[in-house]
Amino acid sequence: MKKQPRISVIGVGYVGLCTAVGLASKGYQVLASDIDAEKIAKINKGIPTFHEPGLQEKLTESITKGNLKGLVNAIDRAILETELTYVAVGTPSKPDGSIDLQYIESAAVSIGKALKLKDAYHVTIIKSTVVPGTTQNSVKPILERESKKKCGKDFGLCMNPEFLRQGSAFQDTLNADRVVIGSYDKQSGDKLEDLYKEFYSPKVPPIIRTTLSTAELIKYASNAMLATKISFINTIANICEKIPRADVKVVATAMGLDKRIGPLFLDAGLGYGGSCFPKDVKALIACSEQFGYIPELLNSTENVNKKQPLKAIDFCKKHLKVLEGKKIAILGLAFKPDTDDMREARVIPIINNLLSEGAQVIAYDPVATSMAKTIFKDSICYANSVTDCLKKADCCILVTEWPEFKKLTPDDFIKNMKQPILIDGRRIYEPKEFSKKLKFTAIGLGQ
Ligand code: UDX
């Protein structure tokens, strides 16, 4: 039997940990290194550092079987004791929207130093999302300078973007739609392709082989397309609201039946949030502008998304006229269901605006309350249940479409609220049923 390669992963955030556990669960020997000792201690005890369905069980199993081992700040060991190394460190945004490469660059310095001590050919794989040109123009020169070796000859370099969705990131790791492998040299690309063929066997997804920069761009182009689809349908929603009896949900369903358009990512709402779309669209705009091209379409995608959450405030004002002193109930804080992540959550500008208008805010979320407390502190109240949240409220804004909110009936609002005014920011309620009994306003629904 062919010997499985040993693998290391640098950075155990969302992407790094899912990758490490995915590989370890299929029997690969994986070393995971991170600068955060607390994170590594938890991982070595089999406890994931974030909420992700299916991950806990496989992490515990991998640690118990000895397939996965967490190391603190041990890039040298990660390189010397394995054959392939994934780099999955963070690439946050700078204040101007461009990408901050400090973690990638410092990981590259350490990898280069370790490569200097290693005789055998080693493959470094950039998995972090980086703007086109980064692997070729920033990572490669650092690796060559620190290792005093030649890329393509003494060691290999690949770019292999991830397409994981929070809430199903671990499942996405095990079942990919496609694998993109950008490689500097053929040998490293072949090694990574072999790994994926074995990993996904017998159901190997399409594997796209390309250059480093094209691989980098595929990730940004995919996220920019999805973000644009959302801003597009939100634009149609805003038009629908001006047209009596028009409904964006029906428009989207009919559009989605056209195979060229497809039904996914056409849910109109209060806009997109999360750690990827906002950051990646901004980074692609900044990168494009650096190359001298103004990507007008992407600027519009971003502008539509910036304004979209504020529609909730307009709707509130339409019903209540003045918000000062009014009690507003918020259902949902997380940027989407099945996560406690609040990065770029659309609820943040909504709550900030309500507070600046003098409203009292009470919010409920099934899992994101403790995360929300770090953002809003005691400027808002936190409810323990939907009922608690709706009690004596003047208006309710549905911000995140958690399954438990979908089960609510008009009576749940009527019996608890002071005034039964509901704003459906994610189109989860049936307008016919709800508008009969409540003062009901929804995104993309013509009055
Ligand atoms: C996304 C991409 O899907 C993933 O491929 C990439 O690697 C990382 O970014 P994620 O951020 O986890 O994943 O969330 P996703 O489910 O894509 O949703 C992003 C945002 O778009 C959420 O705020 C969601 O509410 C919003 N959204 C999504 C809509 O408003 N309408 C839709 O139709 C779909």
Give residue-wise pLDDT tens across range 385-429. Answer: 999 999 999 999 999 999 999 999 999 999 999 999 999 999 999
pLDDT surpassing 90 at residue 50 = no
Give residue-wise pLDDT tens across range 66-94. Answer: 999 999 999 999 999 999 999 999 998 88
pLDDT surpassing 80 at residue 230 = yes
Give residue-wise pLDDT tens across range 334-370. Answer: 999 988 899 999 999 999 999 999 999 999 999 999 9
User: Could you please report the per-residue DSSP string of 250-300?
Assistant: HHHHHHHTSTTT-STT---SS---SSSHHHHHHHHHHHHHHTT---HHHHH
What distance in angstroms lies between residue 301's CA and the mean position of ligand 1's atoms?
14
- Tell me the HSE value of 321 on the side-chain side, using a 13 A CA sphere: 0
Average pLDDT over every residue of 143-147: 98
CB 21 within 8 A of CB 57: no
- Please identify which of the residues 240, 276, 287, 396 carries the catalytic annotation: 276
Whole-angstrom distance, CA of residue 300 vs CA of residue 127? 28
- For ligand 1, atom 28, name the residue with the nearest CA: 265
pLDDT surpassing 90 at residue 445 = yes
Pick from 143, 107, 104, 125: which is nearest to 212 by CA?
125
Residues 6+ apart with CB under 8 A from 268: 233, 234, 236, 237, 248, 249, 252, 427, 443, 444
Looking from the CA of residue 163, the nearest atom of ligand 1 is 7
What letter represents residue 360's amino acid?
A: Q
Give residue-wise pLDDT tens across range 152-198. Answer: 999 999 999 999 998 899 999 999 999 999 999 999 999 999 999 99
CB 243 within 8 A of CB 249: no
- In sign, the C-alpha dihedral spanning 188, 194, 197, 200 is negative
What whole-number percentage of the chain has pLDDT above 70?
A: 100
Residues 6+ apart with CB under 8 A from 159: 125, 126, 130, 135, 181, 182, 183, 212, 215, 216
pLDDT of 52 = 87
CA dihedral 268, 270, 275, 277 (to 10 degrees): 50
Backbone angles phi and psi of 411, in degrees to 5? -65, -35
Pick from 283, 285, 305: which is nearest to 295 by CA?
285
159 is written with which tokens?
């770019």
Looking from the CA of residue 164, the nearest atom of ligand 1 is 7
pLDDT of 365 = 98
Pick from 222, 211, 82: which is nearest to 162 by CA?
222
Looking from the CA of residue 270, the nearest atom of ligand 1 is 30
Within 10 angstroms of residue 314's Cβ, the number of other Cβ atoms is 12
Looking at the DSSP assignment, which residues form a beta bridge with residue 327? 360
pLDDT band at 372 (very low <50, low <70, confident <90, very high): very high
Q: Vertex 314, ends 364 and 389: CA angle to 5°?
A: 15
pLDDT of 173 = 96
Q: Which residues line ligand 1 (CB under 6 A)?
A: 162-166, 223, 226, 230, 265-267, 269, 272-274, 276-277, 335-336
What distance in angstroms lies between residue 154's CA and the mean position of ligand 1's atoms?
40
What long-range pairs does 384-391 form, CB within 8 A, spacing at least 24? Answer: 386/331, 386/412, 387/412, 387/416, 388/364, 389/329, 389/330, 389/331, 389/362, 389/363, 389/364, 390/329, 390/416, 390/417, 391/416, 391/417
Average pLDDT over every residue of 23-47: 97
Give residue-wise pLDDT tens across range 316-330. Answer: 999 999 999 999 999
Backbone angles phi and psi of 280, in degrees to 5? -70, -35
CB 114 within 8 A of CB 83: no
Residue 276 bears catalytic tag? yes
What whole-number percentage of the chain has pLDDT above 90?
A: 95
3-state secondary structure of 377: coil
Whole-angstrom distance, CA of residue 77 vs CA of residue 61? 23
> Mean pLDDT across the chain, nearest whole number?
96
Average pLDDT over every residue of 113-134: 97
81 is written with which tokens?
């004791």
What distance in angstroms lies between residue 338's CA and the mean position of ligand 1's atoms?
12
What distance in angstroms lies between residue 272's CA and the mean position of ligand 1's atoms?
7
pLDDT of 1 = 59
pLDDT of 96 = 86
- For ligand 1, atom 6, name the residue with the nearest CA: 163
Average pLDDT over every residue of 284-306: 97
Whole-angstrom distance, CA of residue 80 vs CA of residue 110? 12
Average pLDDT over every residue of 98-117: 96
Whole-angstrom distance, CA of residue 110 vs CA of residue 48? 26
Average pLDDT over every residue of 208-228: 98
